[in-house]
Amino acid sequence: MLQSRPASHVIFDLDGTLVQTRVASWAVFRQVNSEFNLGVDDEDKYFALLKGNLFERMRQLCDSEAKADAAIASFMTKLGSDYSPEMIPGMVDVIHALASGSTLAVLSSNHTSVIRRLLTANAVEFCFAHVFGGDVEPDKTLGIRRFVADAAQGTGRRCSASYDEGAESVALAENQTVLVTDTVGDVEAALAADVRAVGVSWGMHSGSKLMAAGAEFVAVWPQELVSYLRVPESRSGAVGACDIASPVPRASDPTTTAASIRRSRRFVGAGQQQAPLASVTRGGSCGCDVGSPNGKEQIVAQEGMTSRVPQPLGRVSDELLDAMQRTMR
């Protein structure tokens, strides 16, 4: 039986780890490849670039620094406008489950504005204490070290806008920081920064390659991350509990609205016609009593139709079971 190794500080890669990226990111990079004639004319060649630092690999494909700067700038711009991947099924629940007892961060080569858009669309933006985008820190090893230096303050976020207040400033315990990722390059960056690495099997690189690179564990399902990394008791003393607001998606945000429509479709009968979304109240995925008028059900309102979705009563003590039940719906 595999023993868990809890982590007080968990850093998530974004693309391929939190969101489904293969189709979406290649579609963006293909435009850049055509514009700058980089010679990356199929998906496999593009995925090979991700074995290391993508920006460094792009520079190696260019015959001048000016061309490299222009290609990278074009890629980042197109990510901001054209990149809208969906979350990995079950990862929202995993985020809420871990946020109750660990300080979470995102470390990505993607632009900070893209990260914010995707996290906000899935109502998990306040579960993360730090975000390091490629525009902030293109070198992931340095990004990890910056996080570790700040993490010594002991400050995190529990799915609410405010940070921990009055958190004691203590030295970060050894082996308490882990990077969760889908690429060999990220595993190598984590080890170079002297932190642990955990892989996921659903991203760019296979579990065997991640283990060979130095990952201590590779999750086959998102919920395994909860079982393996969760701190036994949250700082508030309640396992799996966090406070999260329940905003209504803004009509002006097409990504948020699209994500809400996809979620609402789970509750529409197979014989019913999908109606335009009027409003969706999003609740927390960790068992918090939010997003519903009485704590017992969530209302999905659509034009000419209202679906009432049963929700867990009170706090959920076993996030793993809860996450698995939600994923199977």
- What pLDDT does residue 108 have? 94
Given a contact cutoff of 8 angstroms between Cβ atoms, the answer to whether 38 and 61 are in contact is: yes
In-domain check, residue 181: no
- 131 torsion bin: left (phi>0), alpha (psi -120 to 50), beta (else): beta
Query: Is 228 within a domain?
Result: no
Specify the DSSP class assigned to residue 87.
B
At which of 82, 114, 129 does a domain end?
Answer: 82
Residue 1's pLDDT is 64
Query: Which residues in the chain come in under a pLDDT of 50?
Result: 234-241, 243-317, 320, 323-324, 327-329
Q: What is the pLDDT of residue 322?
A: 54
Q: Is 101 part of any domain?
A: no
**Among 31, 51, 82, which residue terminates a domain?**
82
Assigned domain for 45 exists? yes
In a domain, 298, yes or no: yes
Has residue 213 been placed in a domain? no
The parent domain of residue 76 ranges over 22-82
pLDDT at site 68 = 95
- State residue 65's pLDDT score: 95
Kindly report the backbone phi and psi dihedral angles of residue 279, in degrees, each rounded to the nearest multiple of 5, phi listed first: -160, 145
Closest to 21 measured CA to CA, from 109, 84, 99: 84
Domain total in the chain: 2
CA distance 241 to 252: 31
**Whole-angstrom Cα distance, residue 13 to residue 128?**
12
Q: What is the residue-wise DSSP string for 44-77? A: HHHHHHTTS-HHHHHHHHSSSHHHHHHHHHHHHH
pTM: 0.68
Instruction: Evaluate whether residue 190 is within a structural domain.
Output: no
Classify residue 27: in a domain, yes or no: yes
- Say what angle helices 254-264 and 112-121 make with each other, to 10 degrees: 30
